[in-house]
Structure 1
């Protein structure tokens, strides 16, 4: 999502778009996922999906801090508004799933898939609605892997949409 939003926003300046995309991807994905992999390697987390709900809080909080650092850099260096809005959406999604996961195992994969799809539809137009089955496939895979119930997947997708759509529309 950071690559698509940044490149679309800065077109035809591909280099500039890739720079903003790199900042977004680094702080919203690479660093948080790196922290999870590090926790797995050290034996502190069950696996990279963090299937044990009680283990999710610390990596989710560190992920939120990483996103906030990235957001501060984007704002400080005057990134385009849609790129900043996208990172605010990512923070909002992270905050929502972190709060819910304190008491119930919500599907983060479904939340991110639905929220990302919604932002991409807003940015690129209604033709991207054809990608909606990808969100359903993500949810289906989480149930098939027995990582989540159907209710946890549906709740994740709803949280993703409820956070992403108004936030991005308000801030873009």
Structure 2
């Protein structure tokens, strides 16, 4: 059956929307506003909260993003999402190293228990994702891990009203599926891992 120009345009528009959603909800990017909110909400004052947020932004977002961009420029990674599973080990390890350094600094700064629980939960989630990606040879969705963890954290720490953001999880899942970056199961698994690890982390910290 021939494909009409209308169908082609619809697919093209859908792909563009999916790409925009995927870009905006890159886990390295959404960590920036998430930690800003948590830091300012739990710090004793503005300067303290901003200091905490700066440390996390450098370790969680800026350093990994620059590392991946450099890898793409050198041809080591196919794209900025590191879409090929076999290319993800090095970015995973680099990010974990950055997080470990950031964690040491955060402990030295005596950050709030809420911020520490959020950060530790993210660190644990990345470790789980690494194990699944490398040893199970399955590309779990980091985008779904990121957006699910963010919505859950905001709902638990800031206000239960923020659970109204939950549809974003479905929207991001659709975008990743639309772009054929993940199967529906890989998206669901990402959301499930983020939910489980975040809840366990908060429970361990008494929250």
TM-score range, shorter chain: over 0.9
RMSD: 1.2
Corresponding residue for residue 110 of structure 2: 78
Corresponding residue for residue 202 of structure 2: 168
Structure 2 residue 66 is matched with structure 1 residue 30: no
1:48 maps to which of 80, 98, 112: 80
2:192 maps to which of 144, 158, 162: 158
- Distance of 2:78 and 2:145 partners within structure 1: 21
Could you say which structure has the larger radius of gyration? 2
- Distance of 2:57 and 2:199 partners within structure 1: 20
Structure 2 residue 152 is matched with structure 1 residue 143: no
Asked if the contact 1:115–1:165 (Cα under 8 Å) also holds between the matched residues in 2, the reply is no
Structure 2: give runs of 5+ residues left out of the alignment: 1-33
Deviations 1:10-59 (A, max 9, x none): 25x12211111111121111111221111111110110111110000111
Asked if the contact 2:151–2:165 (Cα under 8 Å) also holds between the matched residues in 1, the reply is yes
Structure 1: give runs of 5+ residues left out of the alignment: none
Asked if the contact 1:93–1:112 (Cα under 8 Å) also holds between the matched residues in 2, the reply is no
- Runs of 4+ in structure 1 deviating by more than 3 angstroms, as ranges, are none
SS in 2 for 1:7: helix
1:131 maps to which of 165, 188, 200: 165
- Distance of 1:116 and 1:95 partners within structure 2: 17
Deviations 1:91-140 (A, max 9, x none): 11111111111110110100111111111111112101111011111111
Count of aligned positions:
171
- Distance of 1:25 and 1:85 partners within structure 2: 16
Give the TM-score taking structure 2 as reference length. 0.79
- Distance of 2:86 and 2:184 partners within structure 1: 20
Corresponding residue for residue 41 of structure 2: 8
Asked if the contact 2:82–2:88 (Cα under 8 Å) also holds between the matched residues in 1, the reply is yes
